[in-house]
Amino acid sequence: MQGRRTDTTSHPRWWVWLFALLLWPMAAAASTPARIGPDASYAALAPHTTYLHDAGGAATLDEAQRLLDTGRFAPLPNGDASFGFQTGAFWFHVAVTNTNAREQRWLLVQQYALSDRIDIYARYPDGRTVHHTGGDTFPFEHRSIRYRHPNFWLELPTDQPVDLLVRVQSQSSMQVPLFLYTPAAFAELSRDGQLGIGIYYGILVALFFYNLVLWLVLRDGSYFWYLFHITAFGLVLFTLNGLGFEYFWPHSTWLADKSVPLSVCLAQIGMQQFSRTFLGLNTRWRWGDRISKAIIAFFVLLGIAATQLPYHVATPIASAAVFPSIAWIAVIALVVVRSGYRPAKVFLLAWTMFLLGTGIFVALAFGLLPKTFMTEYGVQIGSALEMLLLSVALGYRYAALRNENERIVRDAKNQLEEQVITRTAELRQAMSELESAHHRLRESSRLDGLTDLYNRTHFREAFEHLLSQSRNSQRPISLLMIDLDHFKRINDTYGHLVGDDCLRCTSNTLAEALRPHGALLARFGGEEFIAALPGMGLGEASVVAEELRQALRAQPCRSGELEIAISASIGVHCVDLEARDSLESALQVADQALYTAKAEGRDCVRTL
């Protein structure tokens, strides 16, 4: 995204002046300039911003500047830059003076992911104008920084007023919260934002795989549609947060345009179908079931049409249709609760959480609510609670079905003994399969999620068994404590995603090098690994440790186009079998040896 000089020689069109005169009664005094303090690291620009709605979308920079000079721009309503779905373009103006002498390069972030086109005009006291463009009609790599929200580098010389004119034109909801950040402040913002999003999607992924196992075991259709609901709604938020454009289709502006209405339609189809199957509408309320099917058919047709309809037509229709869709699910839940179906109570509670979160988010999209933390992230909070409660409701429903089966067995015991035996066998089989599923889930907990090595908990259990075998056979056993050198520098320089790639690469190198020795290898935490070498004394273990060190040096880690050299410090300890060393004491000695390796310059092997 390159800045360029802008020629300002054109003349305003007559209708722009007419539009401005019509707006004159609503215009207010210009807001105060934004003054960045000497120690400030970020600035919210909304309190200092004025705006103009160019309904025709054809005003040029010169025309907007003249309208600004004649006082036609108005302050943001209640300091909020959310206007809902609007036609044409919006112009925003803010005057910025930077008094922070240490920071002259700032990042302007438009904290809404779905704006189509954004033009930034920075006008300096020496008369030059620098122009930047962005938005999701440009490929993702067009952005100054690879980040889900549009962003632009600005030079703000110390104590020099800079006029910013921002033009936004979009078929999406018009939301333009503008913020300035220093590079360090933006790094913290993006880190915290990614953490929150990671927690949310971590919950969704955990629920997905847990219920996937249950569906594969139980073959209950409700679990399948629950998985569909989680996936589709996760895609909705992935799209609305700008993560879909960042990770899934960074080169496809068509998908960036169509993904919102399509994902909304898929999510509503999943919600309605899950509600039908969970509540058993086909048997409890046939008319309600027919209406739910009609709603599903509507969203199927709308999803197909959204691939051809303009964004400004398809998206408002899909967004508006969310209100009656989720309200209808609340209605059928109430009806089924009144019929006496107890699992529907938990379902209704879950849906209330989702209804609140989604209602707040859609109201924000239409400009009915201001943009705050709760309105921006209410849908994530509400949907996370809803999906957790729905998972509980599925378990409650399964328990209710099991209890109902047991009641039938008891009532029919005297007359239908053979049928009772069959029912009991089926129930036991289901319970056994559920137990097996839980056992497989427990097995997966032995592995570290990032590197697929064993985790610390499993290493402790397995090492105690190896130590007992060594004592019985009087064969030595040694420990290697391995720590990657200067790993924090890699994270700080390239980011945590590159750091994760390095950890995976390192774990593969360690596993390949240790496999011939029958070692027990685990990730001990962070950038630290541990290995147990049964049958090896201190000398042999030291030789293996040196091989490991050299293998790491010879095998740089790749992350994308980066090649990153990795080295490690290794501490070696041979467990004294006669002293009845505990695992903790053996680890402590190995860690001391590791500390010695670090103290003596790193990238070496040391023993005690």
Q: Does 102 reside within a domain?
A: yes
3-state secondary structure of 281: helix
Q: How far apart are CA 563 and CA 145, in angstroms?
A: 21
For residues 345 and 467, membership in a common domain is answered with no
Residues with Cβ < 8 Å from 112, sequence gap 6 or more? 149, 173, 175, 176, 177
For residues 373 and 476, membership in a common domain is answered with no
Distance of CA 173 to the CA centre of its chain: 21
For residues 136 and 256, membership in a common domain is answered with no
Q: Does 301 reside within a domain?
A: yes
For residues 155 and 203, membership in a common domain is answered with no
CATH number of 601's domain: 3.30.70.270
Predicted confidence (pLDDT) at residue 380 exceeds the cutoff of 70: no
For residues 225 and 170, membership in a common domain is answered with no
Structure tokens at 64: 């907007």
What positions carry a catalytic annotation? 527
CATH number of 254's domain: 1.20.1070
Q: Out of 176-180, 279-283, 404-408, 546-550, pick the least confident.
A: 404-408
> Where does a domain end: 363, 379, 400?
400
Q: Does 410 reside within a domain?
A: no
Predicted confidence (pLDDT) at residue 13 exceeds the cutoff of 80: no
Contact 99, 159 (CB under 8 A): yes
Which sign, positive or negative, has the C-alpha torsion 374, 375, 376, 379? positive
Q: What is the mean pLDDT of residues 454-476?
A: 89
Question: What is the reported pLDDT for 26?
Answer: 38
> Where does a domain end: 181, 212, 228?
181
Question: What is the reported pLDDT for 395?
Answer: 66
Q: How far apart are CA 319 and CA 91, in angstroms?
A: 25
For residues 235 and 368, membership in a common domain is answered with yes
At residue 361 the predicted structure's pLDDT band, cuts being 50, 70 and 90, is: low
For residues 504 and 594, membership in a common domain is answered with yes
Q: How far apart are CA 310 and CA 166, in angstroms?
A: 24
For residues 106 and 196, membership in a common domain is answered with no
Question: What is the reported pLDDT for 207?
Answer: 72
Which sign, positive or negative, has the C-alpha torsion 144, 147, 151, 154? negative
Q: Does 252 reside within a domain?
A: yes
Predicted confidence (pLDDT) at residue 15 exceeds the cutoff of 60: no
Structure tokens at 128: 């030059």
Q: Does 560 reside within a domain?
A: yes
Describe the chain by its helix, strand, coil percentages, rounded to 5: 55, 20, 25
Rg over CA atoms, the chain: 31
At residue 363 the predicted structure's pLDDT band, cuts being 50, 70 and 90, is: low
For residues 393 and 507, membership in a common domain is answered with no
For residues 131 and 197, membership in a common domain is answered with no
Question: What is the reported pLDDT for 522?
Answer: 93
Question: What is the reported pLDDT for 390?
Answer: 64
CATH number of 105's domain: 2.60.40.2380
Query: How many residues does this entry show for the chain?
Result: 608
How many structural domains does the chain have? Answer: 3
Q: Does 440 reside within a domain?
A: no
Write down the mean pLDDT value for the chain. Answer: 81
> Residue 132's domain spans which residues?
14-181
> Where does a domain end: 380, 400, 420?
400
Q: What are phi and psi of 98, to 5 degrees?
A: -100, 120
For residues 174 and 202, membership in a common domain is answered with no
Question: What is the reported pLDDT for 254?
Answer: 78
Contact 232, 263 (CB under 8 A): yes
Q: Does 447 reside within a domain?
A: no
Amino acid identity of residue 454, one-letter, is: Y
For residues 205 and 172, membership in a common domain is answered with no
Contact 48, 32 (CB under 8 A): yes
Q: Does 9 reside within a domain?
A: no
Contact 85, 312 (CB under 8 A): yes
Q: What is the mean pLDDT of residues 428-439?
A: 73
Q: How far apart are CA 529 and CA 455, in angstroms?
A: 9
At residue 3 the predicted structure's pLDDT band, cuts being 50, 70 and 90, is: very low
pLDDT in tens, 169-226: 988 778 888 999 998 888 887 776 777 777 777 777 777 787 777 777 767 777 788 7
